[in-house]
Amino acid sequence: MHRTTAFAAARAAAVRRGASLLAGALLVLGLAAPHARAEEPHSLTPFSAAAGAVPPAPWHFSTLPNKTPTRFDVVSEDGRRVLKVEASDSYGLLAHRVQMPLNESTVLSWRWRVDQFVEGADLHTRAGDDGAAKLCVFFDFPADRLPLIERTRLAVARGVSGEDVPSEALCYVWDGKEAKGQMLVNAFTNRMHMVVL
């Protein structure tokens, strides 16, 4: 199980910037709304709550146009209900909106297993920006406080995906080549930072 102190550092940075925290737990990439909604839950719905193979609400799937969707199924393994992700030249994400309190008792923990790493993955380049597993936490940084170029990129990403793409993210990645604990900036945007676990 991973418990992380980088999460606390990211929360502190978000508080210093006056941003509220929106957490999305997923295994590829995630999305969060720019404004908290009153109906958002305060904790993540466990995959064990799924009646069948479909992840339970409010988990939701999203992909990009003209991409083969990644497959997400809840399965039984070693006596537990877990999320199984199958990808082959595909893209997809599973997201869960949740409003989390920002205090010292806030903890993000999860377990994961990777059966096969992505050949040719290189977290330093756009062409190789891929990984076997990724969990992201999104922060609601006001878009009007971003530089013009970042606001433009964010607007384009939201238009292309049809989703409310977050303005900042901290992602935990499982990578077969990078050193554990290494912190990287995403090859596509400096608004997403990655911690290798």
DSSP-assigned beta bridge partners for residue 95: 60
Question: Long-range pairs for 123-132 at CB < 8 Å and ≥24 separation?
Answer: 123/173, 123/175, 123/178, 123/184, 123/187, 123/194, 123/196, 124/184, 124/187, 125/187, 126/187, 126/188, 128/187, 129/186, 129/187, 129/188, 131/173, 131/174, 131/175, 132/174, 132/175, 132/176
Confidence of residue 164 (pLDDT cuts 50, 70, 90): confident
The pLDDT tens digits for 93-148 are 899 988 777 688 888 888 888 888 888 888 888 887 777 788 998 887 788 898 89
Q: What is the pTM of this model?
A: 0.72
Higher pLDDT, residue 73 or 40: 73
The pLDDT tens digits for 6-54 are 333 333 233 322 222 223 333 332 333 334 445 666 788 999 999 999 9
